[in-house]
Structure 1
């Protein structure tokens, strides 16, 4: 077990165990939701795997009001890297995880601080069975958009036939989708069979849940949320962005508090501070997406040809794919291995964001009013890109050629459109509109704020 931190809040009438899948993009939104529950007097025990916590620097665990505990995934010394394949890892995790979560719940009960509820990443559906076996409230936390979960649910029910054979798809609450707008596990069926099974199994037992919590904003996805609320006790509680960047109601909530990377904070912010307003293109493809060498080259020269300042996050594992001599070839460029994304996106110098369209990055950009250039890579990103361009109208998606590559000319064109054209002005205005809606959702009396209050009230009286 990881050493717990003492809860500094006043005694509360509810105790919630929050279980995160061991990945940065899954932990962050759950962690932010946990902070908001804790702010309302709910005791929080934040749980992930032994190895995940070991891989996080203790300096980053600035979570004095939360208790940290861990369970086993069967690979305590190396995590997923210790397994011969993702399939083997998940099979072992699904065997060992429920046992050790059950042990943790019993330990908490014996310590005089029993849990009342388990909120769990929807990738870990067995947690609901463990919660129910212990007589607790169980609530899956959907870390992806409601649109994406709508698609996966229909696939789970067999209402979307795979491989895809139709030219257009119309699902309840969604705009018309082409196959390329579907998550990659469906549009390129068979590409990642293990992950495909993982996302579809999210819905295997969801009918037993007391609540279904979504990291989205009602106003962003009204029609699909209304439809989903007819079949599940679903509530939107997003955007799960640190309070400093939204409502500022949670004191000292300036960042997620946990990171697997060391951001170049001082370098990035000093560089941005001397750039004109809305003059910088920020480029990041998150913590997992890996571009091909050919795509990296096209992106590099497209950025340079745009003649804009650009701040490009290239993870250390991706650096070798950069064109030879590119770093240092332009005085308008800063290439770093990681950066404080929220601080960057909220900086006046940033004019647009070239992104893979991961849901966390999408929500952050929407919450901070930053226009987007959508270059989806896999999983839910194609669906998010469709909404960015055609539903929320806060960005552009460059054309992809027959090899699946976005060429430099297309990248340059989109940057110039957003940064310089009348169309770009309209996109920027839409981004500002969505920023207001996202912020209002978590403000006092906003849609997400009301849902969190309702959840807390039911917990305290359950």
Structure 2
């Protein structure tokens, strides 16, 4: 990569959640590789867990404050107040060097940060850790401006496929659930009006129609997939893992177990760091995995273990391995893995696409339903399970879906499509690819 010769300094402000921090750290690594000085701002509890010695990214934690409140409304307000109170002093201190700060790259959830940036004389770039398609849905269906009714069977939006209710993000129709989070996701629309740039963790080929539509409205740059370089283009030799993991993975156990399995014989099951299944759904999933007759590696967080059926662990020993956490990229890249049974979080979706792994999609809430829609119907790299009237996916549906991806003719087509997207993801970040060019263009305008 060609180094930027001017003394460029970029300030990066992620939302303090692992799934938001890691994509922004990966983007920061791409900037550092071009000779850019990057300072990442975060809260004290996150900063102390980031490996400072292994990265050339400068980490600055906000002055220690009491822990964020458990209440969602109060914690969002707490973070906003903490940043607003301290950002000016941090920028002033950093600007009194040979590398003065020129731009603030902030998480799109922190849409209020653009006003702070402009007040401090900085340019502001909103970083979306979600798909362009999801952002377009929120843009078109903003409750303050939208006149699109939800009483029909489908919703038709510019540049997007026809969407049924089950394909929409839950914040569209669950208006009384998580009001603070719902307000937060729609507040991202302010970035379309105020931000100097919009960065998206995606790539042009993956969402071409919606990317083109947004480009017609504002300055958008796709800069993804933001996964460690050694799993994609291999241009950053030291970039082998994300910068933050708040869970300790069972690396050796997972990899040794996978090494003993045949090529494409294992179903990898994970629902990310936040999703929580009910006891009935856990029982159906456990039984479905067993009756699929496939090997499975299942990540069950320690807080979720009590929901497993009695005697399941002993019964599963011949076919499965259950761990609290695992090195997901290494698992998805392993030759033994033939399918990813996923909640369809955007990071997990991008990782599967980038590593050529077909999916069984079982979305729960937030952005996961539209991600599942694209996985099954647009990119055609997986199938989506169908829930019953009670909202629970049955054991028979789970087993059938796994077998369809792992054993039947459709699985061959899904695998071929997954490999195609793997190639396109690599091309996007490789030298001269769309995402690579977008980063270069951004830096040339600083």
Q: Same fold (TM over 0.5)?
A: yes
Correspondence 1:191-340 to 2 at 5 A: 191-330=177-316, 331-340=318-327
Please give the alpha-carbon distance, in whole angstroms, between the structure 2 residues aligned to 1:437 and 1:205: 28
1:17 equivalenced with 2:7 (yes/no): no
CA deviation after TM superposition for structure 1 residue 442, in Å: 0.6
Partner deviation per Cα, 1:283-313 (whole Å, 9 max, x = no partner):
0000000000100000001001011100000
Equivalent residue number for residue 174 of structure 1: 160
Moved over 4 A (4+): 9-12
Correspondence 1:86-165 to 2 at 5 A: 86-156=72-142, 158=144, 160-161=146-147, 164-165=150-151
Q: Is the 8 Å Cα contact of residues 361 and 384 (structure 2) preserved in structure 1?
A: yes
1:382 equivalenced with 2:369 (yes/no): yes
Q: Is the 8 Å Cα contact of residues 61 and 258 (structure 1) preserved in structure 2?
A: no
Equivalent residue number for residue 422 of structure 1: 409
Aligned residue among 352, 371, 393 for 1:406: 393
Q: Is the 8 Å Cα contact of residues 354 and 374 (structure 1) preserved in structure 2?
A: yes
Equivalent residue number for residue 443 of structure 1: 430
Please give the alpha-carbon distance, in whole angstroms, between the structure 2 residues aligned to 1:187 and 1:431: 31
Q: Is the 8 Å Cα contact of residues 359 and 384 (structure 1) preserved in structure 2?
A: yes
1:76 equivalenced with 2:87 (yes/no): no
CA deviation after TM superposition for structure 1 residue 193, in Å: 1.1
CA deviation after TM superposition for structure 1 residue 178, in Å: 0.8
Q: Secondary structure at the match of 1:317?
A: helix
Please give the alpha-carbon distance, in whole angstroms, between the structure 2 residues aligned to 1:158 and 1:230: 22
CA deviation after TM superposition for structure 1 residue 62, in Å: 4.8
Partner deviation per Cα, 1:194-237 (whole Å, 9 max, x = no partner):
10100111122532222110001110100000000111100101
Aligned residue among 33, 42, 54 for 1:39: 33
Which runs of 5 or more structure 1 residues have no equivalent in the other structure?
1-8
CA deviation after TM superposition for structure 1 residue 423, in Å: 0.8
Equivalent residue number for residue 6 of structure 1: none
Please give the alpha-carbon distance, in whole angstroms, between the structure 1 residues aligned to 2:268 and 2:335: 12
Q: Is the 8 Å Cα contact of residues 26 and 226 (structure 2) preserved in structure 1?
A: yes
Equivalent residue number for residue 190 of structure 1: 176
Return closer, same or farther for 1:84/1:440 CA change in 2, 3 Å cut-off. closer
Q: Is the 8 Å Cα contact of residues 200 and 224 (structure 2) preserved in structure 1?
A: yes
Q: Is the 8 Å Cα contact of residues 398 and 414 (structure 1) preserved in structure 2?
A: yes
Q: Is the 8 Å Cα contact of residues 183 and 379 (structure 1) preserved in structure 2?
A: yes
Please give the alpha-carbon distance, in whole angstroms, between the structure 2 residues aligned to 1:218 and 1:84: 38
TM-score normalised by length of structure 2: 0.96
Return closer, same or farther for 1:112/1:453 CA change in 2, 3 Å cut-off. closer
Q: Secondary structure at the match of 2:315?
A: coil
Deviates more, 1:107-116 or 1:177-186: 107-116
Q: How many residues align?
A: 443
CA deviation after TM superposition for structure 1 residue 32, in Å: 0.4
Correspondence 1:338-349 to 2 at 5 A: 338-349=325-336
CA deviation after TM superposition for structure 1 residue 157, in Å: 6.8
Please give the alpha-carbon distance, in whole angstroms, between the structure 2 residues aligned to 1:42 and 1:112: 12
Return closer, same or farther for 1:163/1:68 CA change in 2, 3 Å cut-off. farther
Over the aligned positions, Cα root-mean-square deviation in angstroms equals 1.7
CA deviation after TM superposition for structure 1 residue 251, in Å: 1.5
Please give the alpha-carbon distance, in whole angstroms, between the structure 1 residues aligned to 2:257 and 2:362: 25
Partner deviation per Cα, 1:64-89 (whole Å, 9 max, x = no partner):
311001236xx83322xxx2511112
